[in-house]
Amino acid sequence: MPKRTANAEWKGKLPEGNGTMALGSGAFEGAYSFSSRFEEGVGTNPEELIGAAHAGCFSMAFSGALGKEGYEPQSVKTTASVHLVKVDSGFEISEIDLDCDAHVPGIDESKFQELAEGAKKGCPVSKVLAGAKINLTARLKN
């Protein structure tokens, strides 16, 4: 499987500084700032990108689970709301709400809910957000 990359650069101190984030594929590059992350300022933020990744992953996983069971989903649309909250030690992502609308002919409600729950638990982004070991390699460059 390919390794996916993204990069970010921050310039300056908080809260005056600013930065950019970009996907390795070149499909997205966006500015971010203290204001766009912790207030309602213009720009993107890491939590928004996490939400996009989670919504995309869940939608694909759910579609795959439906297909595996013989259903043909016409659409699976998901919105992920990522809650960034202040705690004593700083900030943390406390929860993510997945809100999904799917058009799946021929499925009953019980099976639909069962497969949705399985996709929520099984998509790779859900797994990593549930508590992954995080490894860090940090190099000081002159």
Q: Is residue 6 assigned to a domain?
A: yes
Q: Are residues 55 and 116 both part of a single domain?
A: yes
- Distance, in Å, from the CA atom of 129 to the CA atom of 135, rounded to the nearest integer, reads 14
> Which of 73-82, 117-126, 128-137 has the least mean pLDDT?
128-137
Cis peptide before 124 (omega within 30 of 0): no
Return the minimum-mean-pLDDT range out of 26-30, 69-73, 90-94. 90-94
Number of domains comprising the chain? 2
Does residue 3 sit in the same domain as residue 59? no
Structure confidence at residue 132 (pLDDT): 60
137, HSE (Cβ side, Cα atoms, 13 Å): 0
In this prediction, residues 74-85 reach a mean pLDDT of 92
140 domain-assigned: no
40 and 98 together in one domain: no
